[in-house]
């Protein structure tokens, strides 16, 4: 985090907080990219869609091999790499909760 933009203050305020991101499209993916670098206790990812070739540009640091993968899986892997050494827990769900 950069002290120049007071992001250290934001990161410290998020320490120990649990967050859920519902929808990992253009907005959710970028929110995830930012908050993955903070000290959140838990990040829940919820999206039942797959990555498509025409939506790759919406994923920060996209990887071509992500095409066809579920968004929660494609985006959780880099998140886990970012969070190495941090006691973060990633909760993944690609299923719907409605009956």
Q: Can you give the pLDDT at residue 27? A: 94
pLDDT tens string 34-85: 888 777 888 888 888 999 999 888 888 777 788 999 888 888 876 665 654 4
Q: Can you give the pLDDT at residue 65? A: 84
Question: For the chain, what are the domain ranges?
Answer: 7-93
pLDDT tens string 82-98: 654 444 455 556 555 55
Q: Can you give the pLDDT at residue 61? A: 78
Q: Can you give the pLDDT at residue 28? A: 93
17 pLDDT higher than 50? yes
Q: Answer whether 0.85 is exceeded by the pTM.
A: no
Cα gap 9→25, rounded to integer Å: 27
Q: Note the CATH architecture for domain 7-93.
A: 3-Layer(aba) Sandwich (3.40)
């Amino acid at each position: 985090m950069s002290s120049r933009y007071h992001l250290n203050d934001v990161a410290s305020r998020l320490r120990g907080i649990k967050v859920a991101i519902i929808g990992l499209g253009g907005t959710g993916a970028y929110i995830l990219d930012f908050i993955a670098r903070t000290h959140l206790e838990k990040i829940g990812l919820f999206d039942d869609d797959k990555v498509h070739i025409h939506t790759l540009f919406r994923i920060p640091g996209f990887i071509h091999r992500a095409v066809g993968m579920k968004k929660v899986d494609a985006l959780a892997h880099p998140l886990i790499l970012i969070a190495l050494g941090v006691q973060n827990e990633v909760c993944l769900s690609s299923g719907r909760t409605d009956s």
